[in-house]
Amino acid sequence: MAGFTYVYNGGKDCYFRYHESKQAEKLSKKQVSKIIKEDLQRDIKHLGIQPKSIIIHLPLCEDCFLLALPDLIHELGHLFYDRNSTEIEQSFYSERS
């Protein structure tokens, strides 16, 4: 089992969630990435916020958390792009012109 704490709006909104491991040991890197992505998607939608930054604190002694970082960053990129695709594409194409 692993616990995840999410703090939004300067600490006004805080959530703690725990997740069971699907195997006998700790969470896999795929599980960590999926959990954080889904929790963030749900919270961002529920709170109606558009965060300008996301800070992630991970225990350095847990390899599954460190190994999950590249996948997690990739998934967070999708969240950002989905919300800002028009602006990103317009900026990209205007800079190329």
In 84-95, which positions are buried (b, 16+ CB within 10 angstroms) versus exposed (e)? eeeeeeeeeeee
pLDDT at residue 43, as a whole number: 95
pLDDT at residue 85, as a whole number: 84
Regions of the chain where pLDDT drops below 50: none
pLDDT at residue 97, as a whole number: 66
Q: Read off the pTM.
A: 0.74
Sign, CA torsion 54/60/31/2: negative
**Strand, coil or helix: 26:** coil
Sign, CA torsion 74/69/51/91: negative
16 membership: H or E segment, kind and range: strand 13-19
pLDDT at residue 73, as a whole number: 87
